[in-house]
Amino acid sequence: MRKAPWLVLVVLVVLSGCNLLGGSQAPPDPTADVVGWENGHWHNGTLDVTNEDGLNASEREAVVARSMARIEYIRDAEFNQSVPVEIISREEYRAAQAGNYTRTFRTFDNAKFEAMFFVGERRDALAVQRQNMGASVLGYYDPQNGTIKLVADGGQPTLDGEGTLAHELVHALQDQRHNLSTMRASTRDGYNAQNGVVEGEANYVQQRYEDRCGGEWECVDGSSGSQESSDLHFGIYFLEFFPYSDGPGFVSHLYEQGGWSAVDDAFASPPTSAEQVIYPDRYTDPADDPVAVELRDSATNGWERVRPDPQTPNGQRPDYATLGQSALSAMFAYTAYADRGQPVIEPRQFLNVEGGEIDRSDPYDYGLSVTSGWEGDRMHVYRNPDTDANETAYVWRIEWESAGDAREFASGYRQLLRYWGGERTDRANTWTVPDGNRFADAFRVTRDGATVTVVNAPTVDDLGDVRDGS
């Protein structure tokens, strides 16, 4: 999937060179299929196509074939078969994202996004996520039928340049060589970790592709228009954009260490946490595998665990959440864009700026000081059938490398509570966010050595019922 890289409320639109003229300087067609040649087109060939008025079927077929040849040339790997490409409207894409989720899963998912201060308890977190995807996605690869779908505003059969097409073709190549359906993560942290390889390679190859446009290669010119950002939730966007931002650096590190074979190996043995993508040196060190966080249930007075059912017959979804360092960083970074006064994290702390400009290859820094040292986390979600059906609670335990790391996070989290309107109570380590606020609840934040535990419940009295003071 390719997502538009929104930066400080503005999308960076990457142009892919100049319009193409007829003629070709490529060698004659080979007698057999070779890397860098596909369906009659060499990677360095030129085409007589016009993108501005839309690409007809034959023009689109030629652009796709040449783009496949270019991916092969960069990646030094051969496609096993052709890849169909369709262009759909943004409305069609939004309609395709509607999922059939159980009430239990919705409750569980809502609690996770409430815990990150992204979506209040009275809103549907899944709907907000779908809205975000509908506003930012430029294209995606559908492994069910091996087809690329490019999303175009208004449904016009034009390309935004060759970048999105190149990105999705990398996914098609990955699927043909590694079977992406076998890469299944059961938690948000695992998902962002594995996607650090999948989206990281796609962005890395795309960057190398686009660097050749306008120089070594002539490329289809795209529109210079920007997308509307009014529907974008930046906290959720930062969470979901992580693999596109830090993944290319992770893949670049692998490539520098062992070439494309090292990248291939990562598909068989992907990172086990987003932290390993943020800090690539930790990927091969067993000592940096995430720890299994222990968290026993002690809920009483009607509070019971919410255990979501698997979405598919072969699903392996656990009955707890692990959000990881990328999610924690997105949680803090969101305060710079939520427009509630002094943020906990300033934009300059989260944006990677070089020479006065944001680095388009790695726009965000998820290795924040307040989240560094993450070792593992585990969240249990609770519901009390005897109370308002929309009220939930959770216990979130986070392990850190040292007591100092845990202390810094706990301090930052308390600042986060203040940012969202939290006030200290007369009870130790206890805060409340007042009624009328979308995050109105009670919170208990404690630290024991290198462990931080956050307990959330509707009221201060409920905190003890959801979890005892230990």
pLDDT in tens, 123-142: 888 888 877 776 667 788 98
- Distance, in Å, from the CA atom of 411 to the CA atom of 391, rounded to the nearest integer, reads 27
- Distance, in Å, from the CA atom of 29 to the CA atom of 301, rounded to the nearest integer, reads 75
Q: Are 49 and 65 in contact (CB under 8 A)?
A: no
Q: Where are the domains of the chain?
A: 2-230
φ/ψ (deg, to 5) at 137: -75, 135
Q: In 3D, which of 238, 228, 431 has the Cα closest to residue 343?
A: 238
φ/ψ (deg, to 5) at 239: -60, -45
Q: Identify residue 368 by its one-letter amino acid code.
A: L
Q: Read off the pLDDT band of 221 (50, 70, 90).
A: confident
pLDDT tens-digit map of 240-250: 999 999 999 99
Q: How many CB atoms lie within 10 A of CB 214?
A: 14
> Which region, left, alpha or beta, applies to residue 450 given φ > 0 means left and ψ of -120 to 50 means alpha?
alpha
pLDDT tens-digit map of 287-337: 789 999 999 999 999 999 999 876 555 556 799 999 999 999 999 999 999
Which value, in Å, is the radius of gyration of the alpha carbons in the chain? 24
Q: How many CA atoms lie within 13 A of 293 on its CB side?
A: 26
Q: Which two tokens stand for residue 217?
A: 């290669």
Q: Identify residue 228 by its one-letter amino acid code.
A: E
For position 467, what pLDDT does the model report? 96
Give the residue-averaged pLDDT of 213-233. 74
User: In angstroms, how far is CA 91 from the centroid of its own chain?
Assistant: 22
| pLDDT of 12 above 50 | no
Q: Read off the pLDDT band of 1 (50, 70, 90).
A: low
Collapsing DSSP states into helix, strand and coil, what is residue 409? Answer: helix
Sign of CA dihedral 38, 40, 42, 44: negative
Q: Are 138 and 3 in contact (CB under 8 A)?
A: yes
Q: Which two tokens stand for residue 99?
A: 């999922």
β-strands 374-383, 392-400 pairing: antiparallel
Q: Which two tokens stand for residue 141?
A: 């690869």
For position 130, what pLDDT does the model report? 78
- Distance, in Å, from the CA atom of 288 to the CA atom of 270, rounded to the nearest integer, reads 14
